[in-house]
Amino acid sequence: MDSMELYELWCKKAVDDPDLRKELLSVNGDKDAIEDRFYRDLEFGTGGLRGVIGAGSYRLNVYTIRRATQGLADYIKGSFEKGSAAIAYDSRIKSDVFAKEAASVLAANGIKVYIYKELMPTPMLSWAVRYFKCSAGIVVTASHNPAKYNGYKVYGEDGCQITLDVANTVIGKINDVPMFGEYSAKKMPFEDGVKSGMIEYIGQEVIDAYLEEVSKHGVHTELVADSGLKVVYTPLNGTGNKPVRAILKKIGISEVTVVPEQENPDGNFPTCPFPNPEIKEALAKGLELCKTVKPDLLLATDPDCDRVGIAVPDKNGDYVLFTGNEVGALLLEYICAERTANGTMPKDPIAVKTIVTTDIVRKICEEYGVKMIEVLTGFKFIGEQIGLLEKKGEENRYIFGFEESYGYLAGSYVRDKDAVVASMLICEMAAFYRTKGISLLDAREALYKKYGNYVHTQKSFQCEGASGMERMKEIMTDLRTDPPKEIGGLKVTATADYIASEKIDIATGEKTAITLPKSDVLSFFLEGGASVIIRPSGTEPKIKAYYTTIGDTREAAAALEEKLSEDFKRILGF
């Protein structure tokens, strides 16, 4: 069917949600608006769905949720003798509705469902899957995207986002499910599922067990209560408010001031249109409150509480934001140094990072005798490494993993980035250094003095709609067929293509195999240890470029990064 035929079908069949009916009527006669909603299906990627909330096959709504869940149900029934699934959801618009729709489809297919009574962080979905030994899990979230988006992420029985092979199987099952008609998704009323016992609410004991497990991964929690640490915290109108405050209280931090405008759940995110702790604008209200409270630390978690950002005061009382790479490197250094000092470092420890995450990790790992494993972008690949260790009974070797986009995990109790444990460790680290008369700014400077002045930045380029998708493909094709010989005045010394699975030395032509799974990523290695990496986002309509520079000073490295990014922007045509 073409877009207009699909639109007419939806006008007849999509009658369950009044909001969708209203939207469909509002675009009647608007060819461009109809085309945008129906020109393709919302794609189930390697981890699930993410898209704009609304009417149409290229939108997230009760019908696309039901169809995806039926495909997942068919996979579970074909792979497990007695299937079960856990479900969590965040504060976004219709998250609770979509979560209950998914539960209703699973229950109608004879699959036992465990669902949280209220919104919960994404890592607590991973915890529930593992706690109940489920076959799969679903969390309804669009993470840190703007309010118009929502999403649907699928997890495997290990509590990690599903593997590429499983994702491909689920996609095949989904493709066999029509949106409407006799063979569309099965469904039972949610309350009937609860009454029959097929849908069960997750109790407080599961939440308490999670918080207890998180608290085990502190290094110096005994010092926190007497440190006098003051914290301003914002959950950015998301799921972190209760669990983050609970874990901070549990380790002895009593002076926590929550940003009032961003304390309660609100999927419209009225004071932070981009609820992403990676960007300064999202922290504006928190930074404003810091002027009055004057805390040692500003802490911000994204709406599904799997990422965390921080700001700390300088000597003038102004608050300085740290990057995800800086926080991750500081945490790794702290964990390695203090676990080594107190005798809790495991034998043959392992840390994991993604290919776009700071290479300062290599030097930290060398310093402490830690094996570093590098994986593709996406925390599920870090979780996968923990799973491989678990199969060998060696999961205790894993000490820390992180990615540059503000995601961190210590411990193997969940298989996704966890802003609850990260918030705890960041506060503990700040408290520990405070007892030594050291600020986090001091600790950061000491890190760079010890290992070198690394500067890492990430720039994104929006590529909305059908034309945007085509533009991203063209950019990656052009870079493969005609790669730049230099960027920002620095010669390209080697390239790595993660689809072709090979790295090429430009001077010798020597090719080295890349053993990671195939992925649409290109790396350009430059003189002086600099690099540029580019990839289309797997979750947002944008293409991302990652820049690394190393300099004799922070200023020199930053100036070189600016030169690189400006020239690469020109090469991309933006």
Hey, which residues are catalytic here? Answer: 143
Residue 499, Cβ neighbours under 10 Å: how many? 13
Among 474, 465, 471, 541, smallest CA distance to 32 is for: 465
Residue 182: which region, alpha, beta or left (left: phi > 0; alpha: psi -120 to 50)? alpha
Is residue 417 within 8 A of residue 407, CB to CB? The reply is: yes
Q: Give the contacts of 429 (CB within 8 A, at least 6 positions apart).
A: 330, 331, 334, 440, 443
Among 125, 141, 132, smallest CA distance to 111 is for: 132
How many CA atoms within 13 Å lie on the side-chain side of 131? 23
- Residue 317 has which token pair? 């009382």
Dist CA 162 CA 157 (whole Å): 9
DSSP one-letter string for 129-191: HHHHT-SEEEEE--TTS-TTEEEEEEE-TTSSBPPHHHHHHHHHHHHTS-SSSTTS-----HH
Q: Give the contacts of 165 (CB within 8 A, at least 6 positions apart).
A: none
Dist CA 527 CA 39 (whole Å): 44
Distances, alpha carbon 229 to alpha carbons 222, 252, 343, 379, in Å: 13, 10, 26, 30
Distance of CA 304 to the CA centre of its chain: 9
Residue 341, Cβ neighbours under 10 Å: how many? 11
Q: DSSP code of 315?
A: T
End-to-end Cα spacing for the chain: 35
Task: Please state the φ and ψ torsions of residue 408, each to the nearest 5 degrees.
Answer: -140, 150
Is residue 202 within 8 A of residue 89, CB to CB? The reply is: no
Dist CA 531 CA 338 (whole Å): 32
Residue 247, Cβ neighbours under 10 Å: how many? 22
Among 50, 69, 140, 160, smallest CA distance to 538 is for: 50
Q: What's the angle, vertex CA 484, arms to CA 480 and CA 490, rounded to 5?
A: 140
Is residue 304 within 8 A of residue 139, CB to CB? The reply is: yes
- Residue 71 has which token pair? 């495909």
DSSP one-letter string for 309-364: EEEEE-TTS-EEEPPHHHHHHHHHHHHHHHHHHTT-PPSS-EEEEETTS-THHHHH
DSSP one-letter string for 481-503: HS--SEETTEEEEEEEETTTTEE
- Residue 456 has which token pair? 């890492």
